[in-house]
Amino acid sequence: MRVLQAVCVAGAVLATCFPVIAGTATASPTSSHTVKWIDLQVGDCVADLPPLDLSRVTVTVVDCATAHVAEVYLRAPMAVDKAVAIVANKDCNAGFAPYTGRSVDGSPFTITFLIDSNQDRTGADPTPSTVICLLQSANGQQLTGSARR
């Protein structure tokens, strides 16, 4: 199984990213708009991803028919603890086949994720965060078209 990981955690007090996503692309200016990455929705195709230092918290959403670096295929609530990468990988792996109709193993895609940690440590919500799962080309090339079945 091929998996790339990028954990970007945005909280009320602290926002930080832990490496692995890289790359940007340009999109058609007529079919793009900017959103905060924490607001990405299933089916959104993005021309760029947030930098590791979170100096920019927005991404460019484009029509999936245009060149893009990633596509959102799952948003899921999750608990954030020391096993965050394990839980996010499990959730993202489980959500891949229902969206694409194929297993990530042997597919032309890799998966990665962002984590929006909207965590209030005084709250009783056991899953205060959201994992945002994205698929990317396994060979690092831009994607054209949606992977949704």
Find the mean pLDDT for residues 51-68: 90
Question: Which of 51, 82, 59, 73 is closest to 131 using CA atoms?
Answer: 73
pTM given for the model: 0.77
- Closest of 117, 96, 116 to residue 107, by C-alpha: 96
Dihedral angle of Cα 26, 50, 109, 7, to the nearest 10 degrees: 180
Condensed to tens digits (0 to 9), the pLDDT of residues 60-117 reads 999 999 999 999 999 998 877 767 888 899 999 999 999 999 999 999 999 999 988 7
What's the token pair of residue 13?
């007090």
Q: Percent of the chain having pLDDT more than 70? A: 72
Q: CA nearest 76: which of 45, 31, 33, 113?
A: 113
pLDDT at residue number 143: 98
Tell the residue number behind the tokens 């009320």, with chain if given: 12
φ/ψ bin of 101: left (φ > 0), alpha (ψ from -120 to 50), beta (otherwise):
left
- Per-residue burial over 53-69, b if 16 or more Cβ lie within 10 Å, else e, is eeeeeebbbbebebbbb
